[in-house]
């Protein structure tokens, strides 16, 4: 799920996985990592407490969150836990179980896991907002022990260049889309570790070692979201009327009352990766309620453009069913009309004003010096000429006239 802020600035996407006690073998996936004062996770916790979310807070058995993981040193990933909640013996036991599952899943993944120390506080994370409401065993995975390695994490400068994505010279856009970079390979290792751990924690048995993330899928995601969203893969997973959300460069604008291009693309990609292709007509896909057994209250249905038909410009469209949905993350302060709330954030968008500028051409330094020199020269010549004319006035203009008589 990707979260938007009607009336608020949209949060930055991140990754949180929660294991549900109420639904054994199922997992709830959400993008709720934010930088604007935990504004998205605040709303999610609020909805859970108010029973406005399919999953209740007391049914979350474990919490696993990804922080920044792209700049690992020596393939080390740090497992951060909350020392305050671990003072409870029951929570501490569950945290140790979670840590053990992560260590077991790291075997053969290419990732080395370490703990920063029991007394170190939990780093900035959405998990903190959940802990304010209830002690939940959880782990935050990051590539740093204390200080951030990525100085631009979750900012407009968190670009492909700053996380070390490199491509050989001379590759076409399509070749770059599928070229597996070192960054993609490293993130695929983290995804492998995470998938195996979730499989184990959700009740999976033997066979988790066969789970492995596809580096090519990771590299396509990185290319699409960080370099060029107008690529062949993204073109195939969007609806025909969404071509306007594709652009030659990443979109970093944060929206207020409507999903941004990045959010819509994320939903389309998640739907493509986790959904099912159905043999439905366009009318049936766009009106699933009219077809028996479609359960539109549980699933989203998209009529997508599909890939190109060979070398022609025609496409092979189809219907995709998925559980990936958009959910508004309006701050509870607006719903409760508590504008002075110290519990919930109230970030809003700044007022737009027209910007004007006047441009003037400035001469070069040599021209300025030449103009100044000529000005002084003209001034000196004028003074000298005035002095000479004044001293020779009698000779030049004759003697002054005498007194007149009448």
Confidence of residue 348 (pLDDT cuts 50, 70, 90): low
pLDDT for 173: 92
User: How is 3-59 classified by DSSP, letter by letter?
Assistant: EE-TTSPPPPP-EEEEEESSSTT-EEEEB---SSTTHHHHHHHHHHHTT-SSS-GGG
Torsion on CA atoms 292, 297, 298, 303, rounded to nearest 10: 70
Domain residue spans in the chain?
54-227, 229-326
pLDDT for 13: 34
Q: At what angle do helices 261-274 and 215-226 cross, to 10 degrees?
A: 160
**Cα(182)–Cα(164) distance, rounded to whole angstroms?**
8
pLDDT digit string, tens, across residues 154-170: 788 888 888 889 999 99
What mean pLDDT is predicted for residues 185-191?
93
Mean pLDDT value across the chain: 83
Instruction: Tell me the whole-structure pTM to 2 decimals.
Output: 0.74
What lies within 8 Å, CB to CB, of 248 at 6+ separation is 228, 230
Provide the 10 A C-beta neighbour count for residue 69: 23
Structure tokens at 359: 């441009």
**232 or 327, higher pLDDT:** 232
pLDDT digit string, tens, across residues 57-100: 999 989 999 988 887 778 899 999 999 999 999 999 999 999 99
Number of alpha helices (DSSP H) and beta strands (DSSP E) in the chain: 12, 11
């Amino acid at each position: 799920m990707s979260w938007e802020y009607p009336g608020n600035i949209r949060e930055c996407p991140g990754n949180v996985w929660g294991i549900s006690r109420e639904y054994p073998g199922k997992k709830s996936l959400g993008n709720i990592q934010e930088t604007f004062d935990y504004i998205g996770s605040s709303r999610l916790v609020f909805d859970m407490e108010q029973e406005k979310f399919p999953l209740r807070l007391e049914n979350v058995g474990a919490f696993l969150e990804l922080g920044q993981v792209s700049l690992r040193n020596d393939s080390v990933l740090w497992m951060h836990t909350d020392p305050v909640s671990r003072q409870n013996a029951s929570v501490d036991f569950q945290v140790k179980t979670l840590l053990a599952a992560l260590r077991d899943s790291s075997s053969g993944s290419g990732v080395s896991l370490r703990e920063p120390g029991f007394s170190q506080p939990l780093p900035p994370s959405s998990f903190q907002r959940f802990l304010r409401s209830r002690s939940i065993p959880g782990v935050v995975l990051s590539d740093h022990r204390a200080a951030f390695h990525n100085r631009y994490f979750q900012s407009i400068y968190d670009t492909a260049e700053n996380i070390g994505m490199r491509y050989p010279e001379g590759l076409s856009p399509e070749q770059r889309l599928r070229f597996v970079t070192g960054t993609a390979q490293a993130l695929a290792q983290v995804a492998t570790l995470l998938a195996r751990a979730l499989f184990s924690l959700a009740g999976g048995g033997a066979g988790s070692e066969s789970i492995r993330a596809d580096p090519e899928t990771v590299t396509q995601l990185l290319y699409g979201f960080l370099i060029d969203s107008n690529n062949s893969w993204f073109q195939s997973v969007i609806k025909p009327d969404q071509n306007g959300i594709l652009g030659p460069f990443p979109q970093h604008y944060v929206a207020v009352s409507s999903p941004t291009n990045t959010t819509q693309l994320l939903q389309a990609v998640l739907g493509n990766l986790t959904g099912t292709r159905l043999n439905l007509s366009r009318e049936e896909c766009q009106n699933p309620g009219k077809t028996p057994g479609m359960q539109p209250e549980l699933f989203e249905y998209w009529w997508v453009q599909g890939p190109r038909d060979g070398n022609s410009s025609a496409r092979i469209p189809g219907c995709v069913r998925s559980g990936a949905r958009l959910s508004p993350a309006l701050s509870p302060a607006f719903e409760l009309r508590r504008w002075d709330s110290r519990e919930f954030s109230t970030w809003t968008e700044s007022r737009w004003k027209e910007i004007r500028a006047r441009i003037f051409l400035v001469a070069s330094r040599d021209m300025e010096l030449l103009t100044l020199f000529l000005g002084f020269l003209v001034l000196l010549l004028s003074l000298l000429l005035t002095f000479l004319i004044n001293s020779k006035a009698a000779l030049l203009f004759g003697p002054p006239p005498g007194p007149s008589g009448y």
